[in-house]
Amino acid sequence: MLKKNKYGFLDYIRIPFSAAPVYCSLIVAKNLITALIPSARIFILANFIDTANSIFNGTSQVPDIYPALIIYALTIAYNYFSDTIGGFFNTKMGMKLALTFKEQVIAKRASLEFSHIENDKTWELITRAADNPDGKITNGLYNLMNLINLLIEAGSVITVLASFVWWAAIPSIISAIPMYIVSVRRGKRDYDENKESWKHNRRSWIFGALLVSRDNIEERSMFSYSSLLDKKWHELFEKARKIRKRLNILYFVKMRVCSISTLF
């Protein structure tokens, strides 16, 4: 799985498929079905209503409504059980990734030259990328699938609107443009800010481990450096917290602005 030095977003699909092809395929199929259900339910419900009106007007028989009723009930049942089924697939895929991909990352990390560990920049990159590697790949796959689901859901709903009232799709497309631009810029900014926040978090974790670890209790008592480490830990923690707080505030403001802009 570790075949190259640089990885792109397509590797979020390649690596899970290599580790667990069956469960990854089931996850993709489940997400595609989930994305298509909202638009499909519109036609199912419309068919159900038309059949009910026909029965009321006497042009159809009562058994004619059973297929539409069964299909609509199946969509409701799918929504009810899909999270549980998807959770099972996700767990099985995560176990496969932990046995294959994570093992390779750990072996690669253990074979690194000592100079990379001593170098602050390379070690920071290693810890940021190699900590919980299977979880990062899993989250990347989920984020990519959520993006595809969003595009499918939006496209299918707009297509349904356009099939009945062609001009109704135009405001939906126009209102989606600023949200897309903000999301892309927000994602790039979040990544850079999270990289900066990780630096302070990693250092604060190191100081925190020194403060609470029982292995260092004798040294802490003998040299009385707990207060100094506590101060340093608090400074680093506050820097990381302020970065996250600023990101959350900016996200809230931008999303509210985009929501208001779509009204006009």
Compute CA distances 228 → 221, 231, 248, whole Å. 13, 5, 31
Question: What own/partner pairs with CB < 8 Å and gap ≥ 24 does 150-158 have?
Answer: 150/35, 152/32, 152/35, 152/36, 153/35, 153/38, 153/39, 156/35, 156/36, 156/38, 156/39, 157/38, 157/39
Contact indicator for 141, 12 with CB cutoff of 8 Å: yes
Query: What are the extents of the domains in the chain?
Result: 6-164, 166-264
Residue 162's pLDDT is what? 77
Compute the distance between CA of residue 9 and CA of residue 141 in angstroms, rounded to an integer.
9
Q: What is the DSSP string of 98-166?
A: HHTHHHHHHHHHHTS-HHHHHSHHHHHHHHHHHSSHHHHHHHHHHHHHHHHHHHHHHHHHHHHHHHH-G
Task: For the chain, give the mean pLDDT.
Answer: 79
Instruction: Give pLDDT, residue 260.
Output: 62
Q: What's the rounded Cα separation, in Å, for the pair 197 and 239?
A: 8
pLDDT digits (tens, 9 = 90+) for 117-160: 777 778 777 777 777 888 888 888 888 888 888 788 777 777 77
Q: Tokens 């996700």, residue?
A: 90
pLDDT in tens, 1-29: 666 667 777 888 888 888 888 988 998 89
**What is the rounded CA–CA span in Å between residue 123 and residue 28?**
35
The predicted pLDDT at position 5 comes to 66
Confidence band, pLDDT 50/70/90 cuts, at residue 55: confident
pTM score, whole prediction:
0.70
Residue 3, pLDDT score: 66
What is the DSSP secondary structure assignment for residue 58, as one 8-state letter? T
- The DSSP line for 236-260 is HHHHHHHHHHHHHHHHHHHHHHHHH
pLDDT band at 264 (very low <50, low <70, confident <90, very high): low
> Which of 87-96, 178-187, 225-234 holds the top average pLDDT?
87-96
3-state helix, strand, coil in the chain (%, to 5): 90, 0, 10
**Contact between 16 and 24 (Cβ < 8 Å):** yes
